Chains A and B, each alone.
Chain A
C-alpha cells in the first residue's frame, strides 16, 4: 500500500524567502516520487520526479527536492519565492506496476509581496 502526507495545507512566505513544502510517504515497494503544481482551473504540471539514482533532483522554475529514504520524505524547496509561485502543490507516490499515482491533499503556497 502507498500513501502520502503533506504537512501544512497552507504555507505563506514573503517574496524572495525560502520555500519549503513538506511531503512524507509510505510505500511497500521502492517509490517513485513526484511533485506537481496546479494553478486555478488548470490541470497538474510536473515540477520534478525521483525514480532512482541521485537523491537530490532539480526541476523546473528553480525547484528541487531531496529523497530521504531513512526519513521517508521528499520535501520540495526553492531558495527564493516569486509571486508567480503562488499555487497548489501536490506530492505523489507511484511505483506500483500500474503506474497510478497516490496524491497528498495538497499545500497552498501564498507569496506575499
Chain B
C-alpha cells in the first residue's frame, strides 16, 4: 500500500491559464474521488469515478472543469481558463467498493494558487 499520490503538490499559475492535476489511487481501489478545500473550510465533493466511469458530478464542477480516469487507474482533473476563485487545495481520495463503509484514503493534495 503506497498510498494515494497527487502531482504536483503546488501549482502557481496566472488567471486564464489551463492547469491539470494527476491522482494515482491505491492500486486495488476502484473508486476515486475529487474534493476541493478552501482555506478554513472542510473538503467539498466535486466528482467521483467507479473504475473508468464518472458517476456523479457536483454542481460545484463548472464547465471549465473536466475529470477523466482512463482505464480505471490514475485520474486527471483539468481546469480551463482559471479564475481567482479556483485557488484551493484539490484533494483526491480512493476507496474500495463493497459497502459504503469503505473508508476513503486521501492524498496530500495539490494546492493551486491563481495570480
A25 within 8 Å of B by Cβ? no
A77 within 8 Å of B by Cβ? no
Are A90 and B102 also in contact (CB < 8 A) when A43-B109, A99-B31, A99-B95 are?
no
Which residues from chain B sit less than 8 Å from chain A, CB to CB? 4, 6, 31, 33, 35, 40-45, 48, 55-56, 91, 93, 95, 97, 99-109, 111
Is the pair A51, B101 in contact by a Cβ cutoff of 8 Å? Answer: yes
Partner of A106, one of B31, B42, B48: B42
Which of A9, A44, A46, A98 is packed against the most chain B CB atoms within 10 Å?
Answer: A44
Is the pair A44, B43 in contact by a Cβ cutoff of 8 Å? Answer: yes
Are A41 and B100 also in contact (CB < 8 A) when A98-B48, A103-B43, A103-B44 are?
no
CA distance A99 to B33 in the complex (A): 9
* Residues of A contacting B56 in the complex (Cβ-Cβ under 8 angstroms): 98, 100
Which residues from chain A sit less than 8 Å from chain B, CB to CB? 4, 9, 32, 34, 36, 41-46, 49, 51-52, 90, 92, 94-106
Is the pair A43, B55 in contact by a Cβ cutoff of 8 Å? Answer: no
CB distance from A52 to the nearest CB of B (A): 8
Is the pair B100, A46 in contact by a Cβ cutoff of 8 Å? Answer: no
CA distance A13 to B21 in the complex (A): 38
Which of B4, B35, B111 is packed against the most chain A CB atoms within 10 Å?
Answer: B35
* Residues of A contacting B103 in the complex (Cβ-Cβ under 8 angstroms): 34, 46, 49
